[in-house]
Structure 1
Amino acid sequence: MKPIVYTRGQALPGILEQRIAILDGAMGTMIQRFRLSEADYRGERFAGHHKDLRNNSDLLGLTRPDVIRDIHEGYLAAGADIIETNTFGATRIAQEDYDLAGLAYEMNVAAARLAREAADKFSTPQQPRFVAGAFGPTPRTASISPDVNDPAARNVDFEALRASYYEQAQALAEGGADLFLVETIFDTLNAKAALFAIDEWFEASGERLPVIVSGTVTDASGRLLSGQTVTAFWYSIRHARPLAVGLNCALGAALMRPYIQELAKVAPDTFISCYPNAGLPNPMSDTGFDETPEVTSRLLQDFAAEGLVNIVGGCCGTTPEHISAIRQAVAPLQARSRQREFFYREAA
């Protein structure tokens, strides 16, 4: 099998071979710090929209780009190598909840351009910054029935997911993304639709971007919501030849360790990413969560010292303070080494 030749983000694999890269932190909980009103979300353009728009965070790229820009620049100043676009829910399927499905393409282009401008502002020859186009799981699941009385019922199908993700891939690339990040995967069938759509866009466009795939283990069972173990998840998406595979979100770093260990063991031929949330909500904490920057950075430092990871960052509840602490903790440590048989061997 021939090695992948990327048309964007070409420097990223070499960086991951040499050191641990830092991903940014949460977007949604950072937006909450601004205490935005319904009017902030609407702006002038959507002042008369017939549905409530508050908490439609993806819309802020159009109505309050200053907020999104501020968050991106905060993470970059903290030392992030990779920032994610504010597009977790910017698919046509997710935006149907707000009757804004027709704006999905525009949302993705605008979000990617904001991240691109911020990344370019902070990039240096010594530390290039990368924009990861973020693909969320959508609020629908192709594998699980929404009706307990009808196991066969579904509220979305593979084709609808594929079409929605294809549109998102095209828009994120137009806006300037360097790589694609399919994240917070709770249903592997949804992720396979995203990966299929991304590959379709690669074929149609002639582009080839690095892809990172990140699942989420929802509880101590060690399984995704759709029932797969971490090992089964990897074998379900391995055909996509991702630059990195990992876990994010649902569990804090302390509970994520055995599943990162499992993934690192079964996927020796790719890079490993890990960006946990900041633990459980804790109103007595300064950050509102029980894993402070010091706690999270120490735990991820342990992961790095054990040789488990190549990309680390934060998910829900994490802040630029978390990212700064994580960077300082892991910077002196060696990135996880990997085998190259699968991704880099030449065809016979």
Structure 2
Amino acid sequence: MTLLNRLKTDVLTADGAMGTLLYSYGIDFCYEELNTEKPEIIEKIHKDYIDAGADIIQTNTYGANSIKLARYGMENRTNELNKAAVEIAKKAAAPGGQFVLGTIGGIRGIRKSSATMNDILSSVREQAESLLAGNPDGLLLETYYDFEELSSSIQLLREMSDVPVIAQVSMHEPGVLQNGLSLNEALHRLEGIGADIVGVNCRLGPYHTIQAFEDVTLPEKAFLSAYPNASLLDVEDGRIVYESEADYFGRAAVHLRNEGVRLIGGCCGTTPKHIEAAKKRLAGLPPLTEKNVKIKKPIVIQEASPMTDVSICEKAKTERTVIVELDTPKTLLTEKFIEGAKKLYDAGVDAVTMADNSLASPRVSNMAMGATLKMKHDVRSLVHITCRDRNLIGLQSHLMGLDSLGLHDVLAITGDPTKVGDFPGATSVYDVSSLELIQLIKQLNEGISFSGKPLKKKANFSVAAAFNPNVRVLDRAVKRMEKKIECGADYFITQPVFTKEKIIEVHEATKHLPTPVFIGIMPLTTMRNAEFLHNEVPGIKLSDETLERMRACGDDKESSAKEGVQIAKELLDTAAELFNGLYIITPFLRHDMSTELIHYINELDAQKESGALHDYSSN
């Protein structure tokens, strides 16, 4: 009898965790390599679950795809390791006739990973071909946080084979996927694209898994599955542990059956004892054929608080828009910073931008300074957010705080590594890159948290992204801009540019983009400053003429600053003709230099209105 026929009449018990047992044995290398190096260990675990009463076992292939195997330099062994895994599982199951599922694990989490969807599907195809060659009773897709990845994988497998497909999502929050889709809607969509069994596994323990299924209606054709963790995880002496009595897991299995689940196994932390308890508790219980689900009132998500001013992005699409960067201080003396920000704003800038601990050096919080400038002086701030200093918890909390303070203009950047800053031994977090951060911020704009949970109100962020034009191959940098636009970037702010030729090159390379670009101009202060930028900052090169002009000023700081401003004005002559968006980067809190450049921009615009300037963009 086939797996699907058995599920029509019976509630079946699957096996539990493979990795948990291998971890308990002290094995800390690639688990899938054991399929060929120590097959007797994998076979014993299969037999232990079968002896515990499992009707179904899965192959030791969760990470046996080319993308994950590449971490160990074994991407070329995909076929070998998957075929060996099926052989081991079938050998263990042969005496009792248990069903064998070929397992394929998800790749994306909140972070999309560097693999493209084409890469992922190519990997799925390769692994599935190897598993199918062993004639398993079905394919199990498990631990998928990204709904797009799971949906695309099912569609691919349906093209390849008619073998039963079990599709299991993973949730950060009970009843909702990380993209905000309800579990009920997700499972019915998976059924619609060809999955024969749909359900959940991992991340949540029995309590929250049961809770999630309370709102799930029975599929029309597919069956429901659940592989919860033994419990929520804990850490003891640096090791991951799960606290859960086996009988508790068995009782939970009955509750899952009462919610309509027909295939019940275990994920992280579960052992043969957990499966044995589930088997005993489920014995003699027929599957649920009817279920009444109480319809809950949908959570109302309020619209975002309206912005009082036109967004920086929208303004830059049609008219001159100027933003100025002013670093927050490294000390607790904030008066000079606040004074400078007020003067810049009074000079006519659209926003004062503040870096987020630039060069990995601690400064006064840009959130605190942004709030101070807004509430006390009505100065608009554009706050930078780096992925370096905060994990996902901190990032979401920080963004929710910004929204609550009415600071809606943000720049999402990955951030310099800590080793370049004042604390080289500090940890660089990087839970996500700037691309994922942009997506997550836009998810907040839909009223959905990073985990998929409703926030009851939409945020209202306008998201800028960084662009470094000072690279050898500009086309590659522009391709990355296009990816950021796909993720939701509203406009771009560039690193400083120091030659007219580069400004024109950037314009030509980006003029096809639908998003505004703010070209960065930073006045030089001294020859030492110029030489540092030219010789030590990656990607930045000053012209011989510029270096010579700064060198001619010698050690005269006043003369050097004056020449630096003059060079910046000459760059603005070109930039102001080609870009509506101008980004002035203030060096060393010298807001007087930036103020002079702002006045110069105003003069250029006045001359342009009178027709006195040549229009480069018409060339």
The residue type paired with residue 99 of structure 2 is F
Structure 1 residue 167, shift from structure 2 partner: 0.9
Structure 1 residue 338, shift from structure 2 partner: 6.6
1:93: which partner in 2? 67
State the number of aligned residues: 288
Structure 1 residue 336, shift from structure 2 partner: 2.2
Aligned counterparts of 1:241 and 1:271: Cα–Cα separation in 2: 12
Are 1:209 and 2:163 matched, yes or no? yes
2:140: which partner in 1? 181
Secondary structure of the corresponding residue to residue 213 of structure 1: strand
Are 1:269 and 2:240 matched, yes or no? no
Contact 2:227 2:264 in 1 (8 A): yes
Aligned counterparts of 2:56 and 2:259: Cα–Cα separation in 1: 21
Flag the 1:227–1:62 CA change in 2: closer, same or farther, 3 A: farther
Aligned counterparts of 1:238 and 1:18: Cα–Cα separation in 2: 19
Aligned counterparts of 2:123 and 2:18: Cα–Cα separation in 1: 22
1:342: which partner in 2? none
The residue type paired with residue 156 of structure 2 is A
The residue type paired with residue 62 of structure 2 is F
Structure 1 residue 132, shift from structure 2 partner: 0.4
Aligned counterparts of 1:226 and 1:96: Cα–Cα separation in 2: 28
1:68: which partner in 2? 42
Structure 1 residue 190, shift from structure 2 partner: 1.3
**Percent identity over the alignment?**
30
Are 1:333 and 2:302 matched, yes or no? no
In structure 1, the gaps of 5 or more residues are 1-9, 37-53, 124-128, 147-153, 203-207, 340-348
Are 1:311 and 2:280 matched, yes or no? no
Report 1:1-348 matches (<5 A).
11-36=2-27, 54-123=28-97, 129-138=98-107, 140=108, 155-202=114-161, 208-220=162-174, 222-263=175-216, 265=217, 267-282=219-234, 288-304=241-257, 306-337=258-289
Aligned counterparts of 2:218 and 2:259: Cα–Cα separation in 1: 14
Contact 1:30 1:319 in 2 (8 A): yes
2:559: which partner in 1? none
The residue type paired with residue 47 of structure 2 is E
Secondary structure of the corresponding residue to residue 6 of structure 2: helix
Contact 2:138 2:163 in 1 (8 A): yes
TM-score by length of 1: 0.77
Aligned counterparts of 1:226 and 1:107: Cα–Cα separation in 2: 33
Contact 1:22 1:81 in 2 (8 A): yes
Structure 1 residue 186, shift from structure 2 partner: 0.4
Structure 1 residue 223, shift from structure 2 partner: 2.2
Structure 1 residue 33, shift from structure 2 partner: 2.4
Secondary structure of the corresponding residue to residue 101 of structure 2: strand
Structure 1 residue 296, shift from structure 2 partner: 0.8
Flag the 1:235–1:21 CA change in 2: closer, same or farther, 3 A: closer
Aligned counterparts of 1:249 and 1:168: Cα–Cα separation in 2: 21
Structure 1 residue 309, shift from structure 2 partner: 1.2
Flag the 1:33–1:159 CA change in 2: closer, same or farther, 3 A: same
Flag the 1:338–1:241 CA change in 2: closer, same or farther, 3 A: farther
The residue type paired with residue 157 of structure 2 is I
Q: Deviations over 1:204-254 (max 9, x none)?
A: xxxx2111111111124x322344321332244233332211111111111
Aligned counterparts of 2:35 and 2:2: Cα–Cα separation in 1: 28
Secondary structure of the corresponding residue to residue 310 of structure 1: strand
Choose between structure 1 and 2 for higher RCO, CA contacts under 8 A separated by at least 6 residues: 1
Q: Deviations over 1:67-126 (max 9, x none)?
A: 111100100111111101001011111112122111111111111111011111322xxx
Secondary structure of the corresponding residue to residue 262 of structure 1: coil
Flag the 1:251–1:145 CA change in 2: closer, same or farther, 3 A: closer
Aligned counterparts of 2:282 and 2:218: Cα–Cα separation in 1: 23
Aligned counterparts of 1:322 and 1:335: Cα–Cα separation in 2: 20
Q: Considering only CA atoms, is the larger Rg found in Structure 1 or Structure 2?
A: 2
CA root-mean-square deviation? 2.1
Aligned counterparts of 1:266 and 1:119: Cα–Cα separation in 2: 30
Structure 1 stretches of 4+ with a deviation exceeding 4 A read none
The residue type paired with residue 155 of structure 2 is F
Aligned counterparts of 1:109 and 1:338: Cα–Cα separation in 2: 40
Secondary structure of the corresponding residue to residue 242 of structure 2: coil
Secondary structure of the corresponding residue to residue 173 of structure 2: coil
Structure 1 residue 35, shift from structure 2 partner: 1.8
In structure 2, the gaps of 5 or more residues are 292-619
TM-score by length of 2: 0.44
